[in-house]
């Protein structure tokens, strides 16, 4: 009855992909890096850096949540906070040299995972999946 519920499947799938990403990064020599961290690195503008609030907005989480991730990456020397010259309240999150290297690796790792997913699903199903998720989230945030 009620085949494994849709909600649970979505969660399980998320976990599976996140785990794959971590493995991928480990194999590339970046251990102990979590998916949320990798995802942040990908969202920082390479040239100008990005404000915390903007990063939060892009990731769809609160700035408090984002701050934790920035803290972690800052401690490990992948990003640093610099004051925003244009706005005394704000700080700009920038990639360090090491952070930029990591960023490139993350892009490859993400691509690898998505490629593998696409392969196991087949192109048509994969596109369908993304389309369905887009639609779902879109109409969801309208309702909210």
Partner DNA sequence: CGATGACCGTCAGGTTCGTTGACTTCTCGG
Partner DNA sequence: CCGAGAAGTCAACGAACCTGACGGTCATCG
Q: Note the residues at the interface with DNA (CB under 7 A).
A: 8, 11, 18, 34-37, 51-54, 59-65, 67-70, 81, 84, 86-92
Q: By the 8 A CB rule, do 17 and 113 touch?
A: yes
Q: End-to-end CA distance of the chain: give it in Å, rounded.
A: 30
| Phi, psi dihedrals of residue 78, rounded to the nearest 5° | -95, -30
CB of 5 to a copy of itself, least distance (A): 6
Q: What is the phi/psi pair of residue 36, to 5°?
A: -65, -35
Among 53, 57, 96, 117, binds a copy of itself (CB under 8 A): 117
Q: How far apart are CA 95 and CA 103, in angstroms?
A: 9
Query: Is residue 35 close enough to count as binding a copy of itself by CB under 8 A?
Result: yes
* Under 8 Å between Cβ of 44 and 74: no
Q: Crossing angle for the helix pair 35-43 and 97-121, nearest 10 degrees?
A: 110
Which residue of 87, 101, 107, 115 would you call a contact of a copy of itself, by CB under 8 A? 107
> Of these, 27, 65, 82, 130, which contacts a copy of itself (CB under 8 A)?
130
The option from DNA, a copy of itself, none interacting with 13 (CB < 5 to 8 A, set by class) reads: a copy of itself
Please give the residue ranges that form the binding site for a copy of itself (CB under 8 A): 1-14, 16-18, 21, 35, 39, 42, 59-60, 107, 110-111, 113-114, 117, 120-121, 125-126, 128-137, 139-140
């Amino acid at each position: 009855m009620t085949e494994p519920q849709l909600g649970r499947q979505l969660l399980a799938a998320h976990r599976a992909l996140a785990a794959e990403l971590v493995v991928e990064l480990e194999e590339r020599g970046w251990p102990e890096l979590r998916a949320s961290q990798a995802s942040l690195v990908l969202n920082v503008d390479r040239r100008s850096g990005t404000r915390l609030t903007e990063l939060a907005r892009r990731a769809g989480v609160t700035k408090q949540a984002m701050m934790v991730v920035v803290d972690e990456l800052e401690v490990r020397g992948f990003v640093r906070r610099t004051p925003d010259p244009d706005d005394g309240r704000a700080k700009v999150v920038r990639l360090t040299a090491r952070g930029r290297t990591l960023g490139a690796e993350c892009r490859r790792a993400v691509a690898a995972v998505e490629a593998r997913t696409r392969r196991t699903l087949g192109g048509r199903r994969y596109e369908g999946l993304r389309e369905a998720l887009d639609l779902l989230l879109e109409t969801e945030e309208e309702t909210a």
